[in-house]
Structure 1
Amino acid sequence: MTSIADQFSLAGKRALVTGSSRGLGYAMAAALAGAGAAVVLNARDTVALGAAAQDLAATGATVNAVAFDVTSRDSIDEAVTHIENEIGPIDILINNAGMQFRSSLEAFPPERFDQVIATNLTSVFNVSQPVARHMIARGRGKIINICSLLSELSRPSVAPYAATKAAVANITRGMAVDWARHGLNVNGIAPGYFATELNEALLKDDKFNAWIETRTPMGRWGQPEELGGAVVFLASEAARFVNGHILYVDGAFTATV
């Protein structure tokens, strides 16, 4: 019988992490590499992507970097074909790429709304479908979609973002329902407020920072490395009967009123 510790090992697996040149994406890629997985980093910015790959490789990780645009189906299809044929099979997919744009809803620019939808939601389908086809053919695979505590809640100025993350949570459940019979596990991780570059403006806002520390029962922001355990668990055999689940990693933010 496989030991419980061995069930968390990702040795021999390969993970593609979208939007992984920095922030939570990079932290999750580092965690997966630390558990033994070979990692394929992704971003559009080739300079940032190359620097991230170099930094992660310096830790002893097996790393490849593949630049593609998650809002372009042609770019995705070409990249997935390249990875599968030239690098190796994708065993684990982390759909992390995303963006935020803050504005009151009555003034929200329509073109920005379309961009948020394309980047945060449509990309999850566009990347998952070609990857899943390969996984289905092999009879196994792990897909983890990055949701948000805003999958359940909202705040002023972020309604489109919250709408996309609610949809990502439900497409995660739908993917699990459709693909579980083929041997795939599809789950989501919903981070709370984490100290990343994406939230830099909020971190510098004394009033908002104080609100986060008061509103979050743990009394602080999350640190990017604190997503590591959740992503390794859901990517591993330890979670082989976990399917269609959204795991909140938010310091109990959504557990309190």
Structure 2
Amino acid sequence: MNGRFDGKRVLVTGGGRGIGRQVALGFAAEGADVAVLARTAEQVESVAAELAEGGTKALPVVCDVADAGQVTEAERKVTGEFGDVDVLVNAAGLFSMGPSAAYDTEQARALLDTNVLGTLRCCQVFGRRMLARQHGKIVNFGSLLSFTAFPERAAYAASKAGVLQLTRVLGVEWAPSGVNVNAVAPGMIRIETPHPAALDEDALTRRIPAGRRGRPRDLTGPVRFLASEEADYINGQTLVVDGGWLNYGYL
């Protein structure tokens, strides 16, 4: 451990698998105590056990960020056992897709409630304590679809555009109180959960200037940077981590 986050308490929502799990492991590798929040006990307990095996103080927290009461209860548990959170990473999110003309509005509501309102709830509940202390770091998760459009992803794109604007507003509103709010926007990241759409892997790889799909660990460095003292003068920004996809003008 290089100790950059020694003595820091980090909460990662959506930390039970994929990118969130890798982010939790990344903070643990630099000395942080890590609270892992996800919807299922099996996931959070597995990741917390993995962290504890490496010597990290880890806390599993079962919580659905779409439920305001559960978020409040999670805050009680985390602060009661860990103390105030220094870093909040909002990695919890849902993905779904389908033809926009027929997309189920209740499914869209569930997605927006998790991706946008869930992020806002966690920012509010844990951010209030940061504001009172005049110090804290929040890193939200956007997407390429915060900036651009893919067919049949209307609700998901709307949710991630919402996270972008939420990050901007909180970033400028809370900066005077010493709380930095920023975001990362992952590109085409390969995770264990199958993508619902069939993908042409060769065409996809050709479209990425870096020449490969991203990996969850490609997000750990950017997230830790935004959560570090090195990013004290960065507010309301979204860092795109996509191997150059968004800037690439050649098809």
Provide the TM-score with structure 2 as the length reference.
Answer: 0.95
* SS of residue paired to 2:38: coil
| RCO comparison, higher one (Cα < 8 Å, 6+) | 1
Aligned to 2:33: 38
Q: Over aligned residues, Cα RMSD in angstroms?
A: 1.4
Aligned to 1:185: 180
Q: State which of 199, 209, 216 in structure 2 corresponds to 1:224.
A: 216
Aligned to 2:58: 63
Identical positions, percent: 37
Superposition deviation, residue 63 in structure 1: 0.9
Superposition deviation, residue 55 in structure 1: 1.6
Gaps of 5+ in 2: none
Q: Tell me how many residue pairs correspond in the alignment.
A: 248
Aligned to 1:208: 200
> Greater helix share, 1 or 2?
1
Structure 2: how far apart are the matches of 1:190 and 1:199?
A: 20
Structure 2: how far apart are the matches of 1:33 and 1:118?
A: 29
Q: Summarize deviations over 1:136-162 as a string: whole Å, max 9, x none.
A: 111100000000111001111111101
Superposition deviation, residue 33 in structure 1: 1.0
Aligned to 1:119: 114
Structure 2: how far apart are the matches of 1:65 and 1:58?
A: 14
Aligned to 2:159: 164
Gaps of 5+ in 1: 1-5
Provide the TM-score with structure 1 as the length reference.
Answer: 0.93
Q: Which amino acid aligns with 1:51?
A: S
Determine if the alignment matches structure 1 residue 49 to structure 2 residue 44: yes
Q: Which amino acid aligns with 1:90?
A: V
Q: Which amino acid aligns with 1:148?
A: S
* SS of residue paired to 2:224: helix
Determine if the alignment matches structure 1 residue 96 to structure 2 residue 91: yes
Structure 2: how far apart are the matches of 1:118 and 1:227?
A: 24
Aligned to 1:83: 78
Structure 1: how far apart are the matches of 2:152 and 2:51?
A: 35
Aligned to 2:227: 235
